[in-house]
Structure formats: C-alpha cells, structure tokens
Amino acid sequence: LPHLLGIEGLSPETISGLLDLSETYIDQNRSVDKRRDRLAGRTIINLFFENSTRTRTSFEVAAKRLGADVINMDVATSSVRKGETLLDTAMTLNAMRPDAIVVRHHESGAVNLLSQKVNCAVINAGDGQHEHPTQALLDALTIRRRRGSLEGLLVAICGDIMHSRVARSNIHLLQIMGARVRVVGPPTLMPTDVDKMGVEVHYSMKTGLKDVDIVMMLRLQTERMQGSFVPSISEYFHFFGLDRVKLQYAKPDALIMHPGPMNRGVEIDSEVADDLDRSVIHEQVEMGVTVRMACLDALIGGNRNQIGNGE
C-alpha cells in the first residue's frame, strides 16, 4: 500500500489491520507521556486546499505523537496564490524529500493525480465529492469499539449524500466489512448513480431510520451547490434534521454520529448532538488521531505488514 487514496478496493483484511493498529495507540494518547519515536526523522507535509479543523489538526497531532516533523503548508499565503498549479506545488514539495504528503483538494481525483507524480506516500484527506478514507476508518473504529463488529449492522447515512465524500468512503467501507447501508435524504441531494451503490435509498427519515443501529448525519455542503438546488434551512430541518422525535424511529440504543463540522439546527438538533449516552461525535474525533497514527505508521513507519497488499 504505497498511498492511501480511498477505501474503494481495499480488502477487509487491510481495513481490519488498520483498525487493529489504531487500537494500539489509544492508551498512548490517553497517557501523560504521549510521544513515541516510531516516526522520528520522517517529514510529513500537510497540504490543504480546503478548510479543515479536525483532519488537519489530527494529522498534525498524530504525526507529532509518533515523533515525526510536520509542516503545515498555508495555501492562502503560498505561491498557489501567484498561479502555481497543484502539480507544480506538489513537485516543489516533493523535491524537499518529505516521507508523506497529506492532501485535501476540492477536485475529485486531484489527490490520485498528485500521487502519480511524487515519490513519497500520499494520503487523501478529502478530494472533492470522491473519498475521505481516514474519516471512514475513524468512523469504523468508533463503531467497532462500541458494537464489537461492523458485520450485520444496519447503518443510515442521512442528508446531503450527493456532495459527500464522507458518505462515499463510508458506503465502501461498511459494505466491505459486511454492514448494510441505507442512504436517507431528499431526492435533490441523492447522487445520480445512487442505484449502483448497493444501498437502500429512502426519502423519509421515518422509513430510513426504522430499526437502524447507527445514525450518521451529514452537513449540507452548500459550498458544492453552486448553481444547483439549495434547500431552505427550516424546511430541511423539519423533514431531515435529526431531533428527538425522528431518533425514535431508530433502535433504542442506536448511536448518533456526525463527521463534523456540525450545523446545529440544520441537520442535527443540539439536544441529540449533545446526548451523552448516544452521541459519539467526540469519540469519533479522538479515534481520528489514532487512525491517522496507524495510517502514517503503516505507510512510512515500520508497520507496513499490518495492512497487507489491499490496494
């Protein structure tokens, strides 16, 4: 596995291997002494062309906890603003001999293209509407720790499926690991190829959440809706916002998940988001650090053998 570009095509063994490796970092991150030297001497560059709080910070935290040097490229003050292309920027950074580049870009496929040009490991931190593999892995780890296994679970992914790379990566991962997936949302926010995704499609929360084990909410990605239909916020919340009433359709112990950033009162009500018994949103963030440690370790550390040859 030279790069981590997506979940599609990974084997169940590769995914389980990465989740198992992630588990081994939980105690380290919860201890007073959080730093180890496994990646000492390695250099990791974070190259984010889109905004991020969780992904960029947790990659930096993960790399530093493994002893690596981390450079956060500030795209806003870089020569990208003078017209330098993505590939020229990547080749410039590549010439500095990093061991890994973590890339987020607004174009689907941009990270894959970049990975073909550089000679270091590339991790996709989200490319357009395509994939966000470390998000799906951290979601899987959160679920696995709560439920023991992903196999046989019924998971509802709700909201703006069309524009969501989180939905795509999660659909791939959950199906590879034997879970059943429903997508729930208005027809205007369903991908045109939804019928080919192997998921159940629901246009109402009442039928979509019926008896599910996991409710995954997604933000309306208005930044990707230029020129297309943007729902009215109050109407959207009325029909698709997760609140106490709609949550009753799910299993009584169903977990509430959200990749963040949340828009409270749009796709999720605060009462549900902050439900300490059922919302695992902060646990997802915590697992994000361990998953990113595992991915860095597997790609540029000594744990390549943990994840096989899945790609």
Binding site for carbamoyl phosphate, by residue number, is 54-55, 104, 132, 135, 260-261
**Under rule CB under 6 A, residue 36 binds ligand CP:** no
Residues 118-147 that bind ligand CP (CB under 6 A): 126, 135
Site string for ligand CP, 241-260 (x = CB under 6 A): ------------------xx
| Number of residues this chain uses to bind ligand CP (CB under 6 A) | 9
Known binding residues are 54-55, 82, 104, 132, 135, 165, 219, 260-261
- Taking CB atoms, the residue at the shortest distance from ligand CP is 55
| Four-point Cα dihedral 164, 220, 142, 70, nearest 10 | 70
**Under rule CB under 6 A, residue 54 binds ligand CP:** yes
Contact indicator for 181, 143 with CB cutoff of 8 Å: no
- Please name the residues in contact with 309: beta carbons below 8 A apart, sequence gap of 6 or more: 1, 14
Which DSSP category does 264 fall into?
B
**Under rule CB under 6 A, residue 53 binds ligand CP:** yes
In single-letter form, the type of residue at position 146 comes to R
**Under rule CB under 6 A, residue 170 binds ligand CP:** no
Query: What gap in Å lies between CA 170 and CA 135, rounded to an integer?
Result: 8
The nearest distance, CB 254 to ligand CP, in angstroms, is: 21
The nearest distance, CB 41 to ligand CP, in angstroms, is: 27
**Under rule CB under 6 A, residue 222 binds ligand CP:** no
Helices (H), 98-179: 110-115, 133-147, 165-176
| Four-point Cα dihedral 96, 98, 103, 107, nearest 10 | 50
List residues near ligand CP by CB under 6 A. 52-55, 126, 135, 259-261
